[in-house]
Chains A and B, each alone.
Chain A
Amino acid sequence: MANNFQRGDFLPVVWTPVLPVGAGTASTLSITGYDWEDMATVIDVTGTIHQGRRARIAGLADAQGNITLWFDLDSAPYNSPPVLRSGCLGLLQIQVSTLGTNPFQLGIIVEKMKWTSKIDSALAWNFDWKESVLAGAFAYPSGAFSTPGGPPGVNPQGSGTIPGTTTVPAG
């Protein structure tokens, strides 16, 4: 199998606060995009035996990123749920599949929340995060990915039927 490309509009993130509120409620965030990197510290171990070429090994694994959203006053991020505030520890699930299954999962700390308002745009916000295993362990997506989609009328995100498909009046 191949060519199983994933649509960004079907890839939300799920946030579960851990501190300071204790084990919180998982909230699916309606985002406009995410951007993050899974990385490792790289240590230079070059010696004379490497004949003039650089030699490196990996140090600590780390992750950091940014998530952008529109501000919805009816579900403000600082309220509970989702309790998303700077300094909060929590668990982040980052979807990579339109099926809504098998996300990246990692503990993070919210480093910075940035708010942006412009005359010709809706109020928006975004937050920078960095990994913290104090909130949860890192896990890669696992398990088998099946073919996207399914029978018409079934939400490919796996959360029930498509709004409207079951409400067409008979006759």
Chain B
Amino acid sequence: MSQAALATVPAIFDDVDNDTLAAIQAVWASDNAYLPQYCPQPPRVQRLKEPIVPAGFGTTVKGYVGVEFVLESRDLWDTGGTWRDVRRITLKGYGVKAVAQAIGQGMLALFNRLTVLSYPSTDPTTNLPRFYRWWPEGGVTLKEDDEVKVAQDIWRAELVALVTSIRPA
């Protein structure tokens, strides 16, 4: 590839997953009263290797939230060359059963059909990428996880949604 061709590649690649994760974390941060009691950390991509046991809480296991991204579809939106990107996003709230239930309730309140994501990578001139919609696929499901932390059964609250954004070519 020539140097001239390389110069046409945007300096920042269209990293949809990281972009969406940052936007989800921003929505999460808007709740400074309810969820922080159960999740001291913002949503993350991978599972925690160790349980979160804050100092002074003995063996009380705090919860956390992991996010999974799967590309559902990416279609050309119009002749302007923009793309319609759809990701299947799964929020997984881990914790002991009561904590997982509480996280699930908080997730449902924050992430629903009316949720608006603000992408940090949006260009002020092109206005892309642009959030289109958060489309929930059902409500929160509560399942017992395979993991055990500090001799306590871990449960998992799951929320699945299709998230659509309009992306640059």
- Residue numbers of A with Cβ under 8 A of B are 1-5, 7, 9, 148-153, 155-157, 162, 164-165, 167-171
Contact in complex: B106, A1 (CB < 8 Å): no
> What separation, in Å, do the CA atoms of A156 and B133 have in the docked complex?
11
Interfacial residues of chain B within 19-36, with CB under 8 A of chain A in the complex: 26-27, 30, 33-34
Contact in complex: A152, B127 (CB < 8 Å): no
- Interface magnitude class on chain B: 20 to 34
Q: Which chain B residue has the least Cβ–Cβ distance from A150?
A: B116
Contact in complex: A164, B116 (CB < 8 Å): no
- Chain B residues whose CB sits within 8 angstroms of the CB of A148 once the complex forms: 116, 131
The 8 Å CB contact of B132, one of A7, A150, A155, A157, is A7
Q: Across the A-B interface, how many residue pairs have beta carbons closer than 8 Å?
A: 55
Segment among B6-14, B64-72, B107-115 that sits at the interface with chain A: B107-115
What's the nearest-Cβ distance from chain B to residue A161, in Å?
A: 9
- Chain A residues whose CB sits within 8 angstroms of the CB of B127 once the complex forms: 1-4
- Chain B residues whose CB sits within 8 angstroms of the CB of A162 once the complex forms: 109, 112, 114
The 8 Å CB contact of A170, one of B30, B33, B109, is B33
B127-162 interface bits toward A, Cβ cutoff 8 Å, 1 = contact, 0 = none: 110111100000000000000000000000000000
- Chain A residues whose CB sits within 8 angstroms of the CB of B114 once the complex forms: 155-157, 162
Given A3-B130, A3-B166, A152-B27, output 8 extra A-B contacts at Cβ < 8 Å.
A3-B126, A9-B133, A150-B116, A152-B26, A164-B112, A165-B110, A168-B34, A169-B34
